[in-house]
A and B are shown apart, each in its own frame.
Chain A
Amino acid sequence: MVVKGIIKKGEYYDSVTLMLVARDATALDGVKDAAVVMGTEQNKSILETSGLLLDMFKDASDSDLLIAVKAESEEAANKAFEKIEQLLKETRSKAKEAGEYMPKSLEGALEYMPDANMVIISVAGKYAGDEAMKALEHGLHVMLFSDNVPLNKEIELKKYARDNGLLVMGPDCGTAIINGAPLCFANVVERGNIGIVAASGTGLQEVSSVITNEGAGISQAIGTGGRDVKKDVGGIMFIEGMKALEEDPDTKYIVLVSKPPHPDVLKKVADLIKTQIKKPVVGIFLGGDPEVVKGAGAIPANTLEEAGLIAASLAKGKSLDEFKKLLEEREKEILAIADRESKNKKEGQKYVRGLYTGGTLCDEAMLLSRQIIGEVYGNAPLNPEYKLKDSWISQENTFVDLGEDEFTVGRPHPMIDFSLRNKKIIEEAKDPSVAVILLDVVLGYGSNMQPGDELAPAIKEAKELAAKDGRNITFVASITGTDKDPQDRSKVKKQLEDAGVIVMPSNAAAAKLSSYIVKNLGGAK
């Protein structure tokens, strides 16, 4: 074991920056602990307790920045330093870079790029609306990533956009794919002839990834933001998005993804399908009644995966019957794995713990599980009576959405920072009643870049912990993403499988498998 350190003078950073930098360094291979702190006497004493105090630190003052790393080898320690230096530099240069080379305003940007056609806006909500309006007035389409844009502003923007033939995706639109380009938190998908309109970002990611992984492709994927299909906005962009896809010669099939829209909006969608849309439409309204979708003239899907599979089957010239056969086969396969996994459990192991980073995926998993094992607990459950008293403490069958505010205040989203979920994985493994731990892994731009490297050690540790007690826990995961994503789905899949995880082709399949195992073991309500 080596301990190495550096002192930096006169550099000040916010506390969370320092903590996260240290944490990123600790996550590297062979690094046991790292600290980046001001050189106060008191911090030195903690460095000492942690075995990180070096002689060189003894004369450092309160205003010096101390960086200490404990690692298995000299090489690992040096790597950690490189990482820390790089992260601190990035923090600095991001602030600096802003000053010199960039235009200061939208107008300035248009001088450099007069033929721009899309503006992505992610500044604070109170300014974002005005910036978006300015963009529309210049005839530019808008993707509004920011949330907290006032409702009346959203309506104003969307009405203006509708009247002027422009797109407003968002506010609170996390993902879109336009002309093959992944915008914000999107996956790198194949191009093809399936167009998507979605009022749910993660839903869009799951459907577009399934389509790509089935060998079909996406023409356009338009996000609208969740509020678009509520009563007040009245589905303005959902409708305009559908019309645009109908007009687009490269789009042959249309998929609609949303939570159940307001009835008024649903009626507009149905009228549009009946009167203007000639292309086949597949609809998934999570938690809604498939009959309603059918009534609206669309092909209903029960899950995000199904929506993707139906669209992909159509695109590949297969009939719906063939698709149904495929689905039945998959269902059989799931049941077979469930039977196998139910056999190696110890007496008392009977519950599932879903640890989710994607809210829509968590919702979908709970909807499916409820049909198989009855009501499940959670921090954002379907049935309010099953809300956990303490979101940190699971009970019976529990699905936790770690992306909820209570877990994310002051820290990066769990799709980016895995440390909290890793900790929960270990905790759940200590519970003798747990049979299955269910995970979602969301790839693409904006997400964690090394999900396999970061998840595998926690899963390994959890498995070993259980094994000491004679227990075997089944890990089930789905990976939302494609092989073209910067993380590479196949690589992540292999890493997880090597760690003993059963990787299912979709979130729906993963949730069903987990639920069937629980049902076999008598953990259903």
Chain B
Amino acid sequence: MDDGQTIGTRRDWFLTGMKGIFSLPAIILMLSFVGFCAFTAQAGIPVEQVVFMTGMVWALPAKVILVSSILGGANLVTAFIAVTLSSIRLMPMVAALVPEIRTEKTPTWLLLFLSHFVAITAWVFAMERVQSVPRERRIAFFAGFGITLVLANMLLVGVVYQFVAEFPPIVAGCLFFLTPVYFLASIWSSARHPVIYVALVIGLIAGPLFYWLAPEFDILLAGVGGGTLAWLAERNWRRRREARA
């Protein structure tokens, strides 16, 4: 336990991670969840399902697509495809985070379990702050933050559900609008690769375009088509710049 004296115990770092619930990204996420809760309450999804969904489907865009699929009467396979395509981004996010937080002794099952708590907010938070945490304690720190964030939002959704329907329309409208605006700002500011900017702009245009052309497969087509176009454009631009240099 000499070790614990110098770098702090696991419990200390877990608690430090828990305190991250009071950080700006966590607060914005919680406000977005109130907005999401208003969306589901207005759509008539029962509160038990919303709380279950909050804990199980830990990615706000995936949840919005899942709810939209349910409301649109989509079958299980169609809903699965739409949600899974919107969640591909979780793979590179997790793959980039894992080498930052694990040690040689970290068991794979623990990483598989903790990966559930990786979403935009926790990822940005961890990638920013994990450098100042001793490597042996990074798992505890991330677990403290990630688990607290999920449980707090499940509780929040369960409690506010009965009130959101009675919110003044202006408040409900602004909270709902927080979700797209928050995603735009956080994706742009946390992007580490030029292709992200291109893909974000093309996706914003391709989404409505495909909604107009083929409303049933709009998100899928905009993602694969728009994303491939963005990748080609960025690669082309990068190669030309390298050739000139």
Answer yes or no: are A and B bound together in one complex: no
Q: Which residues of A contact B (CB under 8 A)?
A: none
Q: Which residues of B contact A (CB under 8 A)?
A: none
